[in-house]
Amino acid sequence: NAGVMQNPRHLVRRRGQEARLRCSPMKGHSHVYWYRQLPEEGLKFMVYLQKENIIDESGMPKERFSAEFPKEGPSILRIQQVVRGDSAAYFCASSVFPLGGDGTEAFFGQGTRLTVV
Amino acid sequence: DAKTTQPPSMDCAEGRAANLPCNHSTISGNEYVYWYRQIHSQGPQYIIHGLKNNETNEMASLIITEDRKSSTLILPHATLRDTAVYYCIVRDNAGNNRKLIWGLGTSLAVNP
């Protein structure tokens, strides 16, 4: 059973371009979470999705950022018109059931490191 | 804001037990405590979680105090590969939120 797969591992974009980050959850997992990590900081929650639905996007910036988790295919985190401040590591996690209340753990991918030049 | 408090750094000698403390004094009765670690530049790795009772798996043991306001992660025989940042986390119970709130963790250095 493959783990959570994220690609690309490294992504370089010029200011103003679009960045698309992909996350394939573990087999059988229908809950996906995206986190952002700046250097020397902990992970910051961005968005929680269940198949075809956004459950909680309270951590997403209001502009330029969007996420989806279609019925088929990976979850996509999309950043439009990137700026230097978007440079960070973006991690995706997946779980079988909704996370936390029932003791379900989430498994993380290796992240995508976005560099905006 | 993180709901947990951890020391920023700790050292441990290789082969010795590493005891990592965590305070979560505002934890709710039905909230689990999770521990993850992050080795440099890698994705977080799940270690263990618990609610009330002490837990043990192949990686570590988790000791939770009776009042559930603090816990300790124990790596019984630390190796150099256990050098990482260790995060103690509880869930945000606000509304329908199901996100885990991450603090800055404890940077554990295992020394030869």
Residue B36 has pLDDT above 90, yes or no: yes
Predicted pLDDT of residue A99: 65
CA distance B102 to chain A (A): 6
Contact B101 A101 (CB under 8 A): no
> What residues contact residue B103 under an 8 Å CB cut-off, 6+ apart?
A42, B2, B4, B5, B6, B87, B88, B89
Gap between the Cα atoms of B43 and A79, Å rounded: 21
Residue B76 clears pLDDT 80, i.e. is over it: yes
Interface check for A39 against chain B (CB to CB < 8 A): the answer is: no
Give pLDDT, residue B90: 83
Residues A32 and A107 sit within 8 Å (Cβ to Cβ)? no
How many angstroms separate the Cα of B67 from the Cα of each of B24, B71, B99?
10, 10, 23
> How much is the average pLDDT of A73-93?
96
Q: What is the pLDDT of residue A39?
A: 82
Mean pLDDT of B67-74: 95
User: Contact B32/A103, CB-based, under 8 Å?
Assistant: yes
Nearest Cα residue in chain B from A109? B43
